[in-house]
Amino acid sequence: MRNFLCSLMIWSCVFVVLAWGETPSEAFESSEMAVTKDTVNVQERDVLSKKPHEGLVYPPLNQPQPPVPQRVELDNGMIIYLLEDHELPIVDISAQIRTGAIYEPADKIGLAAITGAVMRTGGTTSKTGDELDEILENLAASVEVGIGGDSGTASMSVLKEDLDTGLAILADVLMNPAFREDKIELEKVQHRSSIARRNDSAGSITSREFRKLIHGADSPYARTTEYDTINSITRDDLAAFHAKYFRPNNTILGVLGDFNSEEILDKIRVAFKGWQPRAIDLPEKPKVSEGMGRRVGLVTKDDVNQTNIRMGHVGWLRSNEDYPALVVGCQILGIGFSSRLMNSIRVEKGLAYSVGNNYGAGYDVPGVFLIACATKSESTVTATEAILAEVERMRAEKVSDEELKQAIDGFMNSSVFDYDSKGEILSRALRYAYYDYPQDFVEQLMAGIRNVTKSDVQRVVAKYMHPDQFTILAVGKASDFDKPLDSFGEVTEIDITIPSPSPEAVPEAGEGDVAKAREILTAAIEAHGGLENLKQVKTLAWNPKMVMNSPGGEMTFDGQVIAVFPDKMRYDMTLLGMGMKISRVFDGQSTWMVTPQGTQTMPEAFAEDDRNGIFRLSPYLLSHVSNADVPVQYIGEEHVNGKLADVIWVSDTPAGSIKLFIDQESKYLVKTEFQALGQQGSPVNREEFYNDYHDVSGVKIPYSIVMIDNGEKFAEVTLSEATINAEVDESIFEQ
């Protein structure tokens, strides 16, 4: 710091010399003399009173002269952009493929994303994904593939000396993906987990539901994956989606790094020589709906103390001739710390920490112009009114000279990042080629922005921004709002409940199947202690040791579980080896966890899973299926742990459909199959295997339980003791 201050003092003296043509001491003396003489005129006093740095005139910055990538089109239709950079011995290749989630069927939402992911993780017809991982890790290289909303991407980064290997892997992945079933299922599990957690964040809810309000819930630009759409996707769907869009004549390749252009073109031709072009009937991009007037949406989320607000409407295209003026208008309205929204809503009124808008422009379909704000619940409507007022003021009044200059300068200064690396230059070249924009579009935009006037800003804001037609969405605790939200119009309450997966189709049953099921269940009920004993069970407690397989490895728990029929359950478990105690409590309405970090209420899905779990405990389950009005049917037999079991389908229960597997010899329940909530919070197909039955107060209870989720072992439970109808202190179910 001292060196910095010394340097600053030295350079200050230098600037004085440059500005005055004198040494620092001479300048000081002459100025002192000047102020003591009566003959100094006003003009001289003004000059002498200025600080050394004032009045300096800076020449305009030179226009950047970025390198221009070389464009080549191969015989197979692939377009290649080449940009040599010999600074580091690295070669990076990126690709854009004309495809996207907007082209997937409505009943298979998620197909594009899963296809892109499994192209890489599932490996190729010659190597598994794990084998590719090992090769690339040994080379400190990477190959990635993904498919987004309206484009597919692929990339490769490798040392120059390993170019042949990396390029061969990239080409193999793009041309010959194997789509192995285990990796497809793994990707599905991750998507199901994302669905289960999608309501955890108020911000993500706001973003998702605002898109639905703007475009419509069924629009390809707003629709979301659901359990059913993920479950419906098959390997054949992935293979067909890949075959339709992944062709060389539908691909733009960008190559950057330490290479010779002619040599690398030859290598690319060799790597992709087996990739045949094909005419692609590319569907027309879905239309973006026009504005539908003022709409107001509310998502009630009572576990937050601030409201996430979004408002706006369908935007415009970047190719719009008014886009430069719109950019400047957006800068002034709500981009950056000097914007009007920031100064008004945050600084002057103190209604929000952050507030702002975006440019609202797309390349080939209109974007969405939106304003986002987060404010405390008690100022929700006040903040919304203040934002709308600022937009109206922009429409009614010209901006100031200072605002115009700041906006233009701010954008022009930030444009340096369009040229800060050759990677950005090449990426922009691919992007403009993909959307059929001129390669000098950014230069045209900057030239247009330089010429924007105050009148231009007022004209385009009045023409394109319509606060009276804004869609408004609030996500928060409505009971704490300062005013009714319907002051902006009729409010639509938005239900964000996550739809459960559709149950497995029930096979058609004949009279004989139903009668046989009843006969088998009657024998099973008798084997488990008889109907009267089963109905007498009011509480069930057991001491389990559970070995659970988690993403972090195997964990062993010990503790106690208490169930009070029909709707209460408490787990008190200790993680062995660490001594950490964890409790999970369901009081009939909600579920919460108690950990060393504190108490946390769990999402409704966990409460529903606990409610179902109580129902599936054998005393309660077998009592329920004894009722003559419960739909049951015999659907065949199956080997379970080496023995034949009769399979009974029980539908329309409080816990959904359940398959019961009854051992033909012992008549014990040896397996159930049903839908449950997995470790990641997403639905799984669970199989529970029961063994080692003990007599507990006249009722048979299994002391060994193995749980399988989606074909993989989840947990193994061994009971040391179980008791029936012990006295339970109901206060243990109070939070």
Same fold, 70-271 and 295-493: yes
Please tell me the predicted confidence (pLDDT) of residue 2: 35
Q: What is the pLDDT of residue 61?
A: 59
SS3 readout for 633-669:
EEEEEEEECCEEEEEEEECCCCCCCEEEEEECCCCCE
Neighbours of 282 (CB within 10 A): 12
Alpha-carbon span 91 to 162, nearest angstrom: 9
- The separation between CA 433 and the C-alpha centre of its own chain, rounded to angstroms, equals 27
**Of 14-28, 37-51, 402-416, 428-442, highest mean pLDDT:** 428-442
CA torsion 184-189-191-193 (nearest 10°) is: -170
Position 459 pLDDT exceeds 70:
yes
Quote the tokens at residue 251.
């691909």
Average pLDDT over residues 310-330: 97
Asked: is 511-733 a CATH 2.50.20.10 domain? The reply is yes
Strand partners, 144: 155
List CB contacts of 271: < 8 A, sequence separation 6 or more.
167, 168, 170, 171
Residue whose entry in the numeric block shows the structure tokens 């109070």: 734
For residue 593, pLDDT beyond 70: yes
Contacts 24+ apart (CB under 8 A), 62-71: 64/416, 64/419, 66/419, 66/425, 67/422, 67/425, 68/439, 69/254, 69/425, 69/426, 69/429, 70/261, 71/433
Q: Helix 163-175 to helix 111-121 angle, to the nearest 10 degrees?
A: 140
- Look at residue 13 in the predicted model and tell me its pLDDT: 36
Q: Which of 557, 582, 558 is nearest to 570 (CA)?
A: 582
Q: What is the pLDDT of residue 693?
A: 97
pLDDT at 22 (0 to 100): 36
- Kindly tell me if the per-residue pLDDT of 103 is higher than 60: yes
Question: Residue type at 714?
Answer: F
**Residue 59: predicted pLDDT:** 67
CB 379, CB 373: distance < 8 Å: no
Query: 290 falls in which pLDDT band (50, 70, 90)?
Result: confident
- What is the Cα–Cα distance from 171 to 274, expressed in whole angstroms? 10
Give whole-number Cα distances, 533 to 248, 388, 419, 517, in Å.
71, 68, 79, 21
Please tell me the predicted confidence (pLDDT) of residue 623.
94
Say which residues have a Cβ less than 8 Å from residue 728's Cβ, sequence separation at least 6. 539, 541, 562, 564
Looking at residue 12, its pLDDT comes to 35
Per-residue pLDDT tens digits for 368-414: 999 999 999 999 999 999 999 999 999 999 999 999 999 999 998 88
d(CA 505, CA 711): 20
Single pTM value for the model: 0.78
For the chain, which residues make up each domain, given as ranges? Answer: 2-49, 70-271, 295-493, 511-733
Domain 295-493, CATH homologous superfamily name and number? Metalloenzyme, LuxS/M16 peptidase-like (3.30.830.10)
Name the residue type at position 499: P
SS3 assignment, position 573: strand
Of the candidate CATH numbers 3.30.830.10, 1.10.260.30, 3.40.50.2000, 3.40.50.720, the domain formed by 70-271 belongs to 3.30.830.10
Q: Give the whole-angstrom CA distance, residue 371 versus residue 3.
A: 46
pLDDT single digits (tens) 524-548: 999 999 999 999 999 999 999 999 9
Tokens encoding 494 = 């938005």
Q: What is the Cα–Cα distance from 359 to 354, expressed in whole angstroms?
A: 17
- Considering only 1-15, 243-257, 284-298, 533-547, which range has the smallest mean pLDDT? 1-15
Q: What does the pLDDT average to over 202-213?
A: 96
